[in-house]
Structure 1
Amino acid sequence: MGTPPPASRDGFGAGWYAPGEPVPARYRRAVPIWGDPSFADLARAVRTTALLAAVRDATLPGADGEAAAEPFAAGEWLFSHNGAVAGWPVTLVPLVATLPPVDVLSLEARSDFAFVWALVHARLRAGEDEGQALADTVLEAAAAAPGSRLNLILTQGHRIAATAWGDTPWYLARSDGGTVVASEPYDDDPHWREVPDRTLLTASRTSVRLTPLHPGSGPRTEGARSSQRRGTMVNSHFVPTRPC
Structure 2
Amino acid sequence: MCRHLAYVGPATPIARLLTDPPHSLFRQSWAPRRQRYGTVNADGFGIGWYAEGDPVPARYRRAGPIWGDQSFADLARVVRTGALLGAVRDATRAGADGEAAAAPFAAGAWLFSHNGAVLGWPHSLAPLTRGLPAAELLSLEARCDSALVWALVLQRLRTGDDEGRALADTVLEVAEAAPGSRLNLLLTDGGTITATAWGDTLWYLAEPGRGTVVASEPYDDDPRWQEVPDRTLLVATRTDVLLTPLKDPHDRQGVPDHEDPHHPMASARPKEPST
Q: Is TM more than 0.5 here?
A: yes
Q: What residue ranges of structure 1 are gaps of 5+ in the alignment?
A: 230-244
| Superimposed CA distance per residue, residues 127-185 of structure 1 (whole angstroms, 9 cap, x where no aligned partner) | 00000000000000000001100000111101111000001311112389212111111
Structure 1 pair 176–225 and aligned structure 2 pair: CA distance change class (3 A): closer
2:65 is aligned to 32
Q: CA deviation at 1:217?
A: 4.3
* Greater mean alpha carbon deviation, residues 43-52 or residues 137-146: 43-52
2:269 is aligned to 223
| Superimposed CA distance per residue, residues 86-127 of structure 1 (whole angstroms, 9 cap, x where no aligned partner) | 110010011010111111111110000100000000000000
Q: Distance in 2 between matches of 1:195 and 1:227?
A: 10
Query: Taking every aligned residue pair, what percent have the same amino acid on both sides?
Result: 68
1:166 is aligned to 199
1:238 is aligned to none
The residue correspondences of 1:29-178 to structure 2 (distance < 5 A) are: 29-174=62-207, 177-178=210-211
Q: Partner letter of residue 166 of structure 2?
A: A
| Superimposed CA distance per residue, residues 177-204 of structure 1 (whole angstroms, 9 cap, x where no aligned partner) | 2121111112111111110000000112
Retained in 2: the 8 A contact 1:68–1:110?
yes
Instruction: Give the secondary-structure state (helix, strand or coil) at the position aligned to 1:27.
Output: strand
Q: What residue ranges of structure 2 are gaps of 5+ in the alignment?
A: 1-25, 32-38, 248-261
How many positions carry a matched residue from both structures? 228
Instruction: Give the secondary-structure state (helix, strand or coil) at the position aligned to 2:80.
Output: coil
TM-score using structure 2 length: 0.78
Instruction: Give the secondary-structure state (helix, strand or coil) at the position aligned to 1:226.
Output: coil
Q: CA deviation at 1:227?
A: 4.0
| Superimposed CA distance per residue, residues 18-42 of structure 1 (whole angstroms, 9 cap, x where no aligned partner) | 0001000000000000011111100
Q: CA deviation at 1:62?
A: 2.3
Residue 18 of structure 1 is aligned with which of 51, 61, 64? 51
Retained in 2: the 8 A contact 1:211–1:221?
no
1:187 is aligned to 220
Retained in 2: the 8 A contact 1:15–1:25?
yes
Instruction: Give the secondary-structure state (helix, strand or coil) at the position aligned to 1:118.
Output: helix
Retained in 2: the 8 A contact 1:70–1:79?
yes
TM-score using structure 1 length: 0.88
Instruction: Give the secondary-structure state (helix, strand or coil) at the position aligned to 2:146.
Output: helix
Instruction: Give the secondary-structure state (helix, strand or coil) at the position aligned to 2:212.
Output: strand
1:233 is aligned to none
* Greater mean alpha carbon deviation, residues 138-147 or residues 207-216: 207-216
Structure 1 pair 156–94 and aligned structure 2 pair: CA distance change class (3 A): same
Structure 1 pair 221–51 and aligned structure 2 pair: CA distance change class (3 A): farther
For the aligned residue pairs, the C-alpha RMSD in angstroms reads: 1.9
Retained in 2: the 8 A contact 1:206–1:228?
no
1:239 is aligned to none
Q: Distance in 1 between matches of 2:53 and 2:273?
A: 29
